[in-house]
Amino acid sequence: MTSSERLVDSAAQRITRHVGLAVALLVVVASCALFVMTIQAFQKDLEPDIHAASTQIAQSVTNTLDMAADLGIPAADLAGVEDFFVLTIENNSQIQSLQLKDPEGNVLASVGRGKDTPAAAKTARAALPESVESNQDSTVPENDRLSLILLSGAERLLGIFSSNAPVLEQPIMRGDQIYAVLSVEIAPDFINGQFRDILFDMVVILIVSLLVAFEIMTAFILFHIVTPIRRLIFLVVNGAHGKFDTYIDPKNNDEIGQITRRVSDVVISLHRRFVTLVASLSNAAPSVHNQLQTVSSRFSLSSAGPKRLFIGSFVDVRVPLFLFSFADELQKSWLPLYATSLAGSNSLISQEVLVGLPISVYMGTIAIVTPFASRWADDYGARLMFMIGLAPAIVGYMICAMAPDTLALVIGRGVTAFGYAIIIISCQGYIAAIATSENRGRAMAMFVGVLMSATMCGTAIGGVLADRVGYRTVFWISVGLSLAAGLLARSMLISELAADKTPKMSLIRGIAALMQNTRYTAMILLAAIPSKILLTGFLFYMVPLYLANLGSNEAEIGRVMLLYSLTIILLGSASGRIVDWLGRTGFMLAFGGVISAIGLIVFADWQNIWGVVLMVFIMGLGHSVTKSPQIAYALEIADEEAARIGRTTVLGVLRTTERIGSVLGPLFAAFLVVQFGFQMAIQIVGIGIVAASALFYIIIAREGASGAKPAVSG
């Protein structure tokens, strides 16, 4: 990297840091303020709603007791009241206790959950089923103490939880006289549980909102401020060094664009004046022509004029990639439910198979198309292929939106996958074309971070949208977002940078040449595929089932799984910078593989939700280290092959082969769980990943030391 390029990068980083921190602070403050106000608004609305629901329950119980009053049975002589109360409490979790009192306030029957239930209810409490008795002991279980600490902190900070137990007094009338009084105590644990769920849901929404805001903010700061300034500085530094061979045609007409245009006009004017000077001295002495030639060489002046300068940036692809990926992720959380709603009862294929077909066809199409799409991106350029890929993607969304049955949905998902494969590999190829050996890790970390942000945000928002507007409408929203992504890609991507017109060997021969590269093959077999096995086998298969087995509900499972994406988003960029700084990409890839699996070995025996949380967090930590180095390392060790078959093809083969692990992961995990149970199965997966990572590093260290690398034949 030259001194001028270092100056440009240093200035760009300072601008990004200062402007980004200022805007980020405003976004965080506004989001947190909205978060607190929303939580407090929920508090005001939730307790009255629970109170109203409990009143309805009390009225229902009272209606039953009214029959006894109408028959003239004295309240003190009623039999079976305790059993009736037990059933009522068992079926209504918001009820803490029920008491029947005579008009003087004497307790006739009492059943409750808490320790402070009157002594008259001892016999009735002995008959309570386990599901009702389970809350009598207020001792906090060992594995829930962290939850209690977090929730008590939230209570002090936001003032949201309430331990007061409202009591309803419902009189039972016989004529004009009070026959008895039903006392209903609302369970404080139920109210607190509702607040707890709201708190966690709001935290998820807050995180998603911040991610979307940061993604858009970062992209537009970089695209509209940092990148134009970076290009202007590059032009000025070139002039300071006496190089006037390039000019920039700015896209924007703001202050930065106007300054850039003025500097470019000066460069163009210098060339015109030089041409005029040469023409006026055409009959001058040879010594004058020699001096003109010296000036021409010294200041890069010529009759052809300056060349238009195209400086690509990672940010060019950031917003289009995020928008399209976000649009595609909107359906992921509820697609099986949509497929179930379309499945007919008279189908020759079982409903279980039909529900899984849209996902299987989608993943299979991506795996098949990716190698070909990578070659097309190399041949025709990322910008053109992005626009071409939008056509099948949008058509696929429209087919899904209007699908009359599951077969149409399967076709729509397959068509969408065709476009998705083209767009994603084109964006990856665009970044690879711009990245250098010094910033490749950071560039690929940005690519991975954008995809993870889109996955997390799209999955969370998609479920909310489907609940509000319906499944089909969400597909039309994806159409609109995809069109917006296409418009941005058309204006932001630089077509001049992406196409590679050099002759290349055939795709089949290129793949064969890649497989002869020992380090590339080792990376696929011992790093890429095991990483996907860990992702799909442990996170997507074992974690939901294991947490459900531990008693967690769907919301808790979703929050734990979101931790993986959040960890990669927050740490991925820093990991990419560390990889660039160390320069030991292969070592970091192996090191991250060990880290990702070590938590499975250490915490599998905890057998509680916090053990799973730690395993998922450490896995995300390890994958934040491996995801960007994996792509960077593939380009590093296959540089000769990339020259013959194209950079994007090298990445396309990697993306295709690693999906073998995506398929094998759930199958392998299911076999281990059946044979050994969850704890042992998790540890076996962890040990296998650690062993594969260690073997991978041994192989690449030996190959690197020997310098052995097969030649690539033409």
Extract the tokens encoding 660: 């073998």
As a whole number, mean pLDDT of residues 633-642 equals 74
Q: What is the dihedral of CA 138, 140, 144, 148, to 10 degrees?
A: 80
Instruction: Write the burial class of residue 641 (CB in 10 Å: 0-12 exposed, 13-18 middle, 19+ buried).
Output: buried
Residues whose CB is less than 8 angstroms from the CB of residue 307 and which lie 6 or more positions away in sequence, other chains included: 245, 246, 247
Q: Which of 632, 657, 637, 635 shows the shortest CA–CA distance to 646?
A: 635
**What CA–CA distance (Å, rounded) separates 309 from 232?**
11
Q: Residue 395 and residue 389: Cα distance in Å, rounded?
A: 10
| C-alpha span between 217 and 145 (Å, rounded) | 38
The per-residue pLDDT for 418 is 93
* CB-based contact 598:628 (threshold 8 Å): no
Mean pLDDT, the chain, whole residue set: 75
Q: Is 112 in a helix, a strand, or coil?
A: strand
Specify the pLDDT at position 165: 56
- What does DSSP say about strands 307-308 and 246-247: parallel, antiparallel, or unpaired? parallel
| 604: Cα within 13 Å, side-chain hemisphere | 20
Q: How large is the average pLDDT for residues 376-403?
A: 88
Most confident of 138-147, 246-255, 580-589, 615-624: 615-624
The model's confidence at residue 501, banded by pLDDT at 50, 70 and 90, is low
Tally Cβ neighbours within 10 Å of residue 10. 11
In sequence order, which residues have a C-beta less than 8 Å from that of residue 291 and are 6 or more positions away? none
**Residue pLDDT, tens place only, 310-360:** 666 667 788 888 889 989 888 877 777 788 788 766 556 666 566 667 877
- Matching residue, tokens 């380090």: 519
Q: Which CATH superfamily is domain 506-714 in?
A: MFS general substrate transporter like domains (1.20.1250.20)
| Beta-strand runs (E) in 315-414 | none
- pLDDT (tens digit, 9 = 90+) per residue, 31-79? 778 777 777 777 677 667 766 766 777 777 777 777 777 777 777 777 7
Q: How many CB atoms lie within 10 A of CB 4?
A: 16
**CA-based nearest residue to 179, from 105, 102, 106:** 102
Q: Which whole number is the average pLDDT over 424-449?
A: 75
pTM of the entire predicted model: 0.66
User: Residue 689, class by beta-carbon neighbours within 10 Å (0-12 exposed, 13-18 middle, 19+ buried)?
Assistant: buried
Pair of tokens at residue 163? 């331990």
Distance CA 701, CA 697 (A): 6
Contact indicator for 430, 382 with CB cutoff of 8 Å: yes
Is residue 490 predicted with pLDDT exceeding 80?
Answer: yes
The alpha-helical segments, DSSP class H, found in 504-553 are: 507-515, 518-523, 529-533, 543-549
Number of neighbouring beta carbons within 10 Å of residue 87: 12
Cβ within 8 Å of residue 561, ≥6 positions away? 539, 543, 544, 616
Domain spans in the chain, listed from the N-terminal domain onward: 55-198, 242-308, 315-501, 506-714
More confident residue, 701 or 209: 701
pLDDT reported for residue 462: 79
Answer yes or no: is pLDDT of 389 > 80. Answer: yes
Q: Would 55-198 and 506-714 be classified into the same CATH topology?
A: no
Q: Which of 135-149, 403-417, 492-506, 509-523 has the lowest mean pLDDT?
A: 135-149
What's the whole-number mean pLDDT along residues 570-599?
77
What distance in Å separates the CA atoms of residue 527 and residue 604, rounded to the nearest whole number? Answer: 22
pLDDT at residue 139 is higher than 50: no
| Residue corresponding to tokens 């210098």 | 270
Mention the CATH class of domain 55-198: alpha beta
Q: Per-residue DSSP letters for 236-291? A: HHHHHTT--SEE---S--SHHHHHHHHHHHHHHHHHHHHHHHHHHTTTS-HHHHHH
Cβ(421)–Cβ(373) under 8 Å?
yes
The alpha carbon torsion through 72, 74, 77, 83 (nearest 10 deg) reads 80
Query: What percent of the chain stands above pLDDT 90?
Result: 5
Sign of CA dihedral 155, 158, 161, 162: positive
Gap between the terminal Cα atoms of the chain:
31
Q: Is the pLDDT of residue 394 over 60?
A: yes
For 230-284, write each residue's pLDDT tens digit: 778 878 888 887 888 787 777 777 778 888 888 888 888 888 888 888 788 777 7
Residue 3: CB partners within 8 Å, gap ≥ 6? none
Lowest mean pLDDT among 53-57, 141-145, 547-551, 580-584: 141-145
Task: Tell me what pLDDT residue 703 has.
Answer: 66
Dig out the tokens for 69 from the structure. 């009053």
Q: Which amino acid is located at 7 in the chain?
A: L
Whether residue 199 is predicted with pLDDT greater than 60 in this model: the reply is yes
pLDDT band at 441 (very low <50, low <70, confident <90, very high): low
Cα 533 to chain center, whole Å? 18
CA distances from 178 to 55, 172, 181, 564 (A): 18, 6, 8, 60
Diameter of the chain measured on Cα atoms: 133
Q: Is 97 helix (H, G, I), strand (E, B) or coil?
A: strand
CATH number of 315-501: 1.20.1250.20
Which pLDDT score, from 0 to 100, does residue 282 have?
75
